[in-house]
Structure 1
Amino acid sequence: MDDTRANRRGRYSGLPLMVFLGLYFGLSPIYLFDSGLPQLADFVMVCFIFLAAISGIRIDRGGYDLVIPGLVFVFYVFVVSVSWSIILSSYSTMMAPVFYLYNFLAMILVYSSYKKNSDLTLKAILYGISAGLTVSVLYQVLNFDAHASRQAALFNNPNQMGYFGLLCAGISLLIFENGRVSHKYFAYNFILSLLLVFLSFSLTAIAGLFFIVLASVVVLYRKGAKTIVIAPFVFVFSVSFLAVAFDDKLYYVSESVERRISLIETKTENVGDSRGYSRILDYPEYLIFGAAEGERSRFGLYHRHEIHSSLGTVLFSYGVVGFFIFCAFLFSAIRRSDVVGFLIFLGPMVYSLTHQGLRNTIFWIFILLIYLLKGSLKK
């Protein structure tokens, strides 16, 4: 009896914490400020970090192989950024390490919450994702802009919407495979995630989605005949929903599809220049230790924009040393994973080839969940 009461007290004491965690995901699609600045959801995450920290951090020895490479990477980012800040007499290089530290803290405190109550933590994430997806899709349906070549809902740009949908699809599939959510609930999240990705018309988000959909096929096959029977109904419902929601906009959709497909060849040919990869070759002197992020005026007008690639940004900004540490961090999350975990992991990584997604906290939580649900449990 005493143990039961203690468990209930522990569960209820964690509820305020889980509310903030769920709210973070639910508010993530709402962008009120310019990209690169903290959004409403980030202020909620700060509250979660504060409450989780004062309630006690629990990181067992099994989590060291993920946490240590992540900590080393963040430390190295600070070293490089502070060094260049001193050399250039500028504080602009210090913005990036603050984001990395914030995302790392969010990741380890979600880890700590999971270790204290895994079911409650996963439910908070899943319910928050459902809320965020629902708000985004409803807003998009009610405010469809037929004059825009791509849709963005409440995000600042379509790529952010596609990335959010991609990460939500991957996280929902991870939790579903782990048996923590019903088939219907998973189908709801997955359908809305697919809808956001396709309406964003982000080519790399759609390409990344292919791997997550492939992983879902494997999961459905493993779940058995009953689940496989549901799959055709899910597909039919998805097509029907699209037809009803966008019945007067199908011509726009078909035109947008044709327009985006016609750009594939051009984007592929110019990926080095358009995404900033050419900067790595033009300034090889930064390849060992990195040039830090910020103060891009050093590289002339041609390279005044940031590199549109997560891995490209890490390689140029933090050199081969930082790139190796970051890859070790990613490898630690997937090295014990099976084919499903690897396919899910590939989704956002494909997107990151042409977009900088490391500032998104959900990506760091996504990596954590791959480690927890597809890696560490196999020890």
Structure 2
Amino acid sequence: MLLKRKALGVISLTWCILAATFAFLPLYLWESGLPQIGHGLGALLTLWSFINGFWKAPRTVKVALVFAMYAVTVNSLMYIKYQDYQTILSALYYSYNVALMGAIIGVAHHIGARSFFRVVRSAFAMWLVLESLIIVGGLGRVFGEFRAMGTFNDPNQFAHWVLWAVIGVAISGFYLSRSMMWGWVAFALGVFLLVLSASRSGLLGMVVIGLALMYSAAYSLLRFCRKGKCRLHLRTLVLGGLVLGAFLGVISIEGFRMELGAQAEKFLGRVTHGLDKGEENLIERGYDRILLFPEYLILGAGEGANERWAGQTTFLGEIHSTPAGVLFYYGIPGSVLFVLMLWSVWQMLPLGWMRLMLLAPLFYSLGTYNLRNSFFWLGLAILYVAGRVLRDESFRGAHPGIVENREHR
């Protein structure tokens, strides 16, 4: 009896730490690059999972761990040579994120999939609503004259979180209710927040999420019609009507409609301006380093110490692309490990629309380096858990698009 109470106590405390981590991660109280409250709670969750023995290292985490070890090795060598603290911080970020990834997967297994996905859905849905209210209420941060950031420090950072929030709500909502309605509602909020952030990288990712939702809807409709069950459930109609009614009610407010229209016009201006630049976009994002310094493609240049490129390239910031950044910073070995990690998550996902969801942050990453951000690794962990539990529950035939695959555990 005492052991049972202790086990229940561990589960309850684990649930509380997990919920607190998700609740505080979107809250940036000081400058980026420094640990926030959510990161501290994530470290506590990781430590707690290690102590209690439920930290997990499936194939995805093992590959991620090797990638992190390689990143630590390359960055440590570059730190010795150039003495740039940003280089060693990058190594710490990857170590932390992989540890958190294993903790999230282990915690989901320990507290149960339903409890885990309730936390995911509640936290992400709550923050999507809160961010909308904060920005509309004029309480959020703003970059420049019109790019909203909510509680974040950068509009692209904010857009990255929005993508994962929509994915998290869609995945968890589907698992808990076998419905995509949660995903559609989150998508509507996500598009709204994306327009306010005016993030072009975010636009790429959100388009992919929209395609994933439409793919799921079309497949479902086709499947039910083939079985002679081509009808809509009352719950779907009611929820859809409420969402549509709320949307029409909000845009009917003249002042708000005008502000939103002006914001959308500014966002469109950013997009067209970027398209007009053509190849200049690649130079401004650091893609030219791949051609200017091909010797680093073998083993990697490491991150930081950007003064190395002065005089040979005009842009001295980090490369604004995850695929190009990984190739340049960590060479062929790092790129191979990165692709293997993504491939292992891709293989685990049993539904076609889920695989499309995985592509969304990758399309986003073509214009922004998002690999150090914890939400990327947290999102991969959520997708991995969803794929694993759906397969473990033999969830075949209950939804279209199931992909048969024997995953290596």
2-side partners of 1:248 and 1:147: how far apart? Answer: 20
Kindly state the Cα deviation for residue 70 of structure 1 after the two structures are TM-superposed: 0.8
SS at match of 1:152: strand
1:324 to 336, 344, 352: 336
1-side partners of 2:167 and 2:203: how far apart? Answer: 13
1-side partners of 2:153 and 2:143: how far apart? Answer: 17
SS at match of 1:14: helix
Code of the aligned partner of 2:289: R
- Let me know the Cα RMSD of the aligned residues: 2.8
Residues 143 and 19 (structure 1), Cα distance of their counterparts in 2 relative to 1, 3 Å cut: same
Which residue of structure 2 lines up, in the alignment, with residue 94 of structure 1?
Answer: 88
Identity %: 26
1-side partners of 2:143 and 2:334: how far apart? Answer: 44
2-side partners of 1:365 and 1:122: how far apart? Answer: 13
Which residue of structure 2 lines up, in the alignment, with residue 344 of structure 1?
Answer: 357
TM-score by length of 1: 0.88
Residues 12 and 248 (structure 1), Cα distance of their counterparts in 2 relative to 1, 3 Å cut: farther
Which residue of structure 2 lines up, in the alignment, with residue 276 of structure 1?
Answer: 286
Kindly state the Cα deviation for residue 212 of structure 1 after the two structures are TM-superposed: 1.1
Deviations 1:10-41 (A, max 9, x none): 45532222223222222233222222222222
2:122 to 127, 140, 143: 127
Kept after mapping to 2: 8 A contact 1:49/1:105: yes
Kindly state the Cα deviation for residue 269 of structure 1 after the two structures are TM-superposed: 3.1
2-side partners of 1:264 and 1:106: how far apart? Answer: 36
Q: List aligned pairs for 1:148-159, cutoff 5 A.
A: 148-159=145-156
Kept after mapping to 2: 8 A contact 1:296/1:306: yes
Which residue of structure 2 lines up, in the alignment, with residue 78 of structure 1?
Answer: 72
Code of the aligned partner of 1:82: S
Which residue of structure 1 lines up, in the alignment, with residue 108 of structure 2?
Answer: 114
1-side partners of 2:265 and 2:330: how far apart? Answer: 41
Deviates more, 1:144-153 or 1:192-201: 144-153
Which residue of structure 2 lines up, in the alignment, with residue 206 of structure 1?
Answer: 203
Which residue of structure 2 lines up, in the alignment, with residue 17 of structure 1?
Answer: 14
Gaps of 5+ in 1: none
Residues 308 and 233 (structure 1), Cα distance of their counterparts in 2 relative to 1, 3 Å cut: same
Residues 67 and 183 (structure 1), Cα distance of their counterparts in 2 relative to 1, 3 Å cut: closer
Kindly state the Cα deviation for residue 104 of structure 1 after the two structures are TM-superposed: 0.5
Code of the aligned partner of 1:288: I
1:264 to 266, 271, 274: 274
Q: How many residue pairs end up in the alignment? A: 373
Kept after mapping to 2: 8 A contact 1:175/1:181: no
Kindly state the Cα deviation for residue 187 of structure 1 after the two structures are TM-superposed: 5.2
Code of the aligned partner of 1:38: P
Code of the aligned partner of 1:364: W
Residues 303 and 185 (structure 1), Cα distance of their counterparts in 2 relative to 1, 3 Å cut: closer
Residues 253 and 339 (structure 1), Cα distance of their counterparts in 2 relative to 1, 3 Å cut: same
Alignment partner of 1:288 is 2:301 = no
2:45 to 35, 43, 48: 48
Alignment partner of 1:67 is 2:77 = no
1-side partners of 2:260 and 2:78: how far apart? Answer: 51
Deviations 1:66-112 (A, max 9, x none): 12211110111111112222333554421111000101011100110
Kindly state the Cα deviation for residue 172 of structure 1 after the two structures are TM-superposed: 1.2
Kept after mapping to 1: 8 A contact 2:49/2:55: no
2-side partners of 1:126 and 1:159: how far apart? Answer: 22
Kindly state the Cα deviation for residue 148 of structure 1 after the two structures are TM-superposed: 2.1
2-side partners of 1:12 and 1:192: how far apart? Answer: 36
1-side partners of 2:252 and 2:23: how far apart? Answer: 26
SS at match of 2:29: coil
Which residue of structure 1 lines up, in the alignment, with residue 317 of structure 2?
Answer: 305
Kindly state the Cα deviation for residue 65 of structure 1 after the two structures are TM-superposed: 1.9
Residues 205 and 284 (structure 1), Cα distance of their counterparts in 2 relative to 1, 3 Å cut: same
Which residue of structure 1 lines up, in the alignment, with residue 327 of structure 2?
Answer: 315
2-side partners of 1:37 and 1:187: how far apart? Answer: 34
2:167 to 170, 183, 200: 170
Residues 239 and 104 (structure 1), Cα distance of their counterparts in 2 relative to 1, 3 Å cut: farther
Which residue of structure 1 lines up, in the alignment, with residue 366 of structure 2?
Answer: 353
SS at match of 1:151: strand
Deviations 1:314-359 (A, max 9, x none): 1111001111111111111002433212210111111101101112
